[in-house]
Amino acid sequence: MGLPPTQVWTREQVAARILAGETLFVLHGNLVRVPPSWLSLHPGGNLSILHYVGRDASAEAEAFHSPETVQRMKDYVVGQVEMGENGWAPFVPPYSNGWVRRKSADGKMEWYSEARAVKVTTEAEASILLFSRDGATPSELAPTMADLEPAPNSLSMKNEKLHSEAYRKLHQRVKDAGLYQCRYVTGYGPDVVRYSLLVAIGTVCYSKGWLIPSAICLGLFWQQVTFAAHDLGHVAVTHHWTLDRFISIFLANFMGGVSISWWVNLLPFFAISPVFFKSLWSSFYQREMTFDAPSRFFLSMQHKLFYVVLSLARFNLYVRSYNYLLKTAFEPPRARGGGWWWWAEVFALGLFFTWFGAVLKGCGSWPNVLMYLLVSHMASSLMHVQIVLSHFSRSIADLGPVESFFARQLRTTVDVICPESIEFIHGGLHLQVTHHLFPRLPRHNLRKASLIVKEFAKERGLEYAEFGWTEGNGEVRGVLKQVADQIKIIGMVADSEVRDAMKS
């Protein structure tokens, strides 16, 4: 852009650049411009950056990246921004309104609206709901200043600024306590013994023809090993991207048959509001989530089907992750390590199907194959219940860009209380609040870090939510039932409207 990095950008100038198609975000008072060429190469995916355009992403930058990467972002600084008394007054990223940049027929970049945006302006929520567009989208339209302004809500910018400052101090305390150092021997040592025992017992049982115990061991092995693959996906083990990615491909793809890159790109930035039961456009999946007859049926029964659906959830991981690999086959290779990871993942998946196929074949008969497949997959499903518990019993509302990272993570996540002696069952990830605040923190240090987080949360008057396993299960099923009941009420209202219409 040819501008000296000392230039101070006003809020209006930043808005004008964003509306002109620039990808800009704020990092500690600096304005960072992400070049289009880098956007498509970003190892965390382009969507994570697009959801932060016009916002202060300082906390997220520190949480998701190594100090070296944060340092590297400074190469993209194009100046400073005019900070108000309460920090940067954020914009709504155009992407949150459904706006994307794409090439027109004559090769120029232009705005294109993927979905219709509706702002919810209730006091409780400042969400933007994206509805599927009917028919073709007019390409001559573009986002306006009004699209960038957040809907009014009750959050105080001053308070959110104080939360952000507290988060910075908290992060420093965690670093000073040495909690970013991975505990290879005392942390992963017992884990490796556990994995090896499950494999050994499973193999012995299989060789003796005891297929059910063998399948259970395999399922439990998958459940346990997922936690290590998860750590590696967050670059939380060696903190070296290539090494961590390589080991995670071995564990997730080769051992478990699931793509690790798909999972890494699943970071839950993108909550949607449950306010309307209509087909919604997901800015994460980039497709319409249709509210059709099957969804209506399953939603109305979801509290009853919860464990049944989750017992088969691993099959969904296969489908979703292979779709992701298919899609990324045609995308530019990600910056870190180029495209090697894609080939490594596909190769490792090929090996997975070879060994798992041989295991199934060795079961002898079709009923045995089916039984082995189902039992092993159902045994691993404990993990899915664990994930749902820590994420979905809390609010999924998006309160808009003013809310600080610290407050948002505490509001939307919950810990499952569990004695230290058996926390390996949860893989340490029952300490989900602290994990969301510091995703790169080695898992075995989360307990110590969570004590510091609780102190800070208390000081800032923020709730640090925790519940027991049984209570948590009850809570999740309660939330599912509430939604199911709302669907039934909508159905009853629709029926009565039809009856009234027929009478008149």
Neighbouring CB atoms inside 10 A of 326's CB total: 9
Which CB sits closer to ligand HEM, 242 or 482? 242
According to CB under 6 A, which one of 22, 56, 60, 125 is a site residue for ligand HEM?
A: 60
The answer to the question of residue 284 lying near ligand HEM (CB under 6 A) is no
User: Least Å distance between CB 188 and ligand HEM?
Assistant: 18
Separation of CA 41 from chain center: 19
254 makes contact with ligand HEM (CB under 6 A) = no
78 binds ligand HEM (CB under 6 A): no
Name the residue among 88, 85, 73 with its Cα closest to residue 32.
73
Q: Is 428 left (phi over 0), alpha (psi -120 to 50) or beta?
A: left
Calculate Rg over the CA atoms of the chain. Answer: 24
Instruction: State in angstroms the smallest separation of the CB of 180 from ligand HEM.
Output: 13
How many Cα atoms occupy the beta-carbon half-sphere of 38 within 13 Å?
Answer: 14
Whole-number Cα distances in Å, 125 to 154, 212, 270, 421, 456:
9, 49, 15, 40, 25
Q: Considering the complex, state which of residue 274 and residue 337 has its C-beta at the smaller distance from ligand HEM.
A: 337
Positions in 177-236 near ligand HEM (CB under 6 A): 233-235
Strand-strand pairing, 415-416 and 30-33: unpaired
Among 201, 388, 439, 469, binds ligand HEM (CB under 6 A): 439
Nearest in space to 142 (alpha carbons), one of 192, 169, 108, 182: 108
Distance of alpha carbon 39 from alpha carbon 27, whole angstroms: 16
List Cα–Cα distances, 228 to 192, 244, 283, 460, in angstroms: 10, 10, 29, 32
Q: Could you say which of 14, 24, 49, 382 contacts ligand HEM (CB under 6 A)?
A: 49
Among the residue ranges 40-48, 382-390, 442-450, 471-479, the one whose residues contact ligand HEM (CB under 6 A): 40-48
Q: Does 52 bind ligand HEM (CB under 6 A)?
A: yes
Which uninterrupted H or E stretch holds 257? none
Contact residue for ligand HEM among 112, 210, 241, 291 (CB under 6 A): 241
Is residue 28 at the binding interface for ligand HEM, with CB under 6 A as the rule?
no
Among the listed residues 9, 14, 43, 377, the single contact to ligand HEM using CB under 6 A: 43
Q: Print the binding letters for residues 328-367 with ligand HEM: x by CB under 6 A, - otherwise.
A: --------x-------------------------------
Asked if 76 touches ligand HEM (CB under 6 A), the answer is yes
- Give me the sign of the Cα torsion angle 93, 23, 283, 338: negative
Query: What phi and psi, each to the nearest 5 degrees, are found at residue 201?
Result: -65, -40
Give me the least distance between CB of 168 and ligand HEM, in Å please.
16
To ligand HEM, the closest distance from the beta carbon of 28 in angstroms equals: 12
What secondary structure, in 3-state letters, does 292-351 show? CHHHHHHHHHHHHHHHHHHHCHHHHHHHHHHHHHHHHCCCCCCCCCCCHHHHHHHHHHHH
Binding range to ligand HEM, per CB under 6 A, among 36-44, 100-108, 408-416, 418-426: 36-44
Type and span of the H or E element at 258: none
Which residues, 6 or more positions from 389, have their beta carbon under 8 angstroms from its beta carbon? 414, 416, 469, 472, 473, 476
Would you say 21 or 274 has its CB closer to ligand HEM?
Answer: 21
Q: Which stretch binds ligand HEM (CB under 6 A): 55-63, 391-399, 425-433, 460-468?
A: 55-63
The structure tokens listed for 273 are 């509001």
- Which range, of 41-49, 86-94, 181-189, 462-470, touches ligand HEM by CB under 6 A? 41-49
Query: Of residues 40, 73, 101, 471, which one binds ligand HEM by CB under 6 A?
Result: 73
65 near ligand HEM, judged by CB under 6 A: yes
When asked if residue 14 is in the footprint of ligand HEM (CB under 6 A), the reply is: no
Q: Does 42 bind ligand HEM (CB under 6 A)?
A: yes
Between residues 163 and 377, which has the closer beta carbon with respect to ligand HEM?
163
- Residue 263 makes contact with ligand HEM by CB under 6 A: no
- Nearby residues of 501 by Cβ (< 8 Å), 6 or more positions away: none
Q: What's the min distance (Å) between Cβ of 33 and ligand HEM?
A: 8
Interaction of residue 48 with ligand HEM, rule CB under 6 A: yes
Strand segments, DSSP code E, in 174-279 are none
8 A C-beta contact, residue 267 and residue 48: yes
Min dist. Cβ of residue 339 to ligand HEM (A): 15
Interface with ligand HEM (CB under 6 A): 25, 32, 34, 42-44, 48-49, 52, 57, 60-61, 64-66, 69, 72-73, 76, 233-235, 241, 264, 267, 336, 439-440
